[in-house]
Amino acid sequence: MTFELASQRADLDRLLKGRAGPGPTAVVMTMGALHDGHASLIRAARAHAGPAGFVVVTVFVNPLQFGAGEDLDRYPRTLDADLRVAEKAGADAVFAPSVDEVYPSGAPQVRIAAGPMGERLEGASRPGHFDGMLTVVAKLLHLTRPDVAFFGRKDAQQLALIRRMVRDLNFPCEIVGVPTVREDDGLALSSRNRYLSRPERRTALALSAALFAARDRLGAQHALRARAESEPVTGARAAALSALGETRAAADTHAVAAACDPAAAARPPGADAVRAAAGLVLAEAARAVPPLTLDYLALVDPADFTEVPDDHAGEAILAVAAKVGATRLIDNITLTFGVPK
């Protein structure tokens, strides 16, 4: 099938009805300014749909999810380049409607409410953002009628809310999360990265560095715990472990306690130490020139995005949001603590 662009609902309907193969329809929703992170979503959709399937990429800068003072007007619009990226990555069509096409009667009076999870973290920083996001996602799901939709895990709270909406409102669509794509220096790919000056970009690397420091701290805690469990239970065990070169992990009070206390060793490494490791990196970045201004650092339950306790076991998402200059960036990683209860 020839790659095509549709800008009106009627054109999209024609493409969907005239698709050649019997395979699934997959959609990738974007706001344009496509980069390799978006391309990875399109490639994943293509692989899932197969040669007999149909892959649609939507390009729409949704005004409902931008608040007062946010970057709606300066958000990059690069449709010609986006078409090249989408076609190369394997899309069959791009649906790039105007605002009037998506909202023909103006701003909709009836919208999707994100609920309590939509009021936390990103929702607290950007009131109404998730209501606007879910409203346009619901409309685009109706318009594209996919069997499966692909979204990036970098927007972890968005992904969780879309999954919840699809489940709660019985959309006949599977939602698939695709891993975050990073640049060589660790910075998560984002359309907003282009706003960063060179000095601002150096400071912005603290977001991913903080997440990686937390991940390393958790790994060190797990390593020391495993070492502790393999040693005889004696009062001198913590000192022996420290002498083995596990100095960073041995400095963790929970892990050292586990080395001497079998009951403590049965508990998972603490979430608070992981938060602290990330916080140290971000605190240093706040003193950089230019500085990083932290919005939030949170270690949350993937189910509802509430903070996890220190003794949490199982998966948790470590999420960060900050401004460098005028550019707001987000990032996250998934961590696993101990063995789920």
Residues annotated as part of the active site: 38
User: Which DSSP string corresponds to 144-163?
Assistant: H--SEEEEETTSHHHHHHHH
Give Cα 317 to chain centroid, integer Å. 9
Give the integer Cα–Cα distance in Å for 160 and 153: 9
Q: 291 is written with which tokens?
A: 């500085």
Q: Which residues contact 318 (CB under 8 A, 6 or more apart)?
A: 211, 214, 215, 274, 275, 278, 297, 298, 299, 332, 333, 334, 335
Give the integer Cα–Cα distance in Å for 22 and 78: 32
Helix (H) or strand (E) holding 216: helix 198-230
Q: Which residues contact 232 (CB under 8 A, 6 or more apart)?
A: none
Give the integer Cα–Cα distance in Å for 68 and 47: 39
Give the integer Cα–Cα distance in Å for 338 and 313: 5
Give the pairing of strands 93-95 and 4-6: parallel
Q: State how far the alpha carbon of 196 is from the alpha carbons of 39, 68, 163, 220, 327, in Å.
A: 22, 21, 32, 33, 7
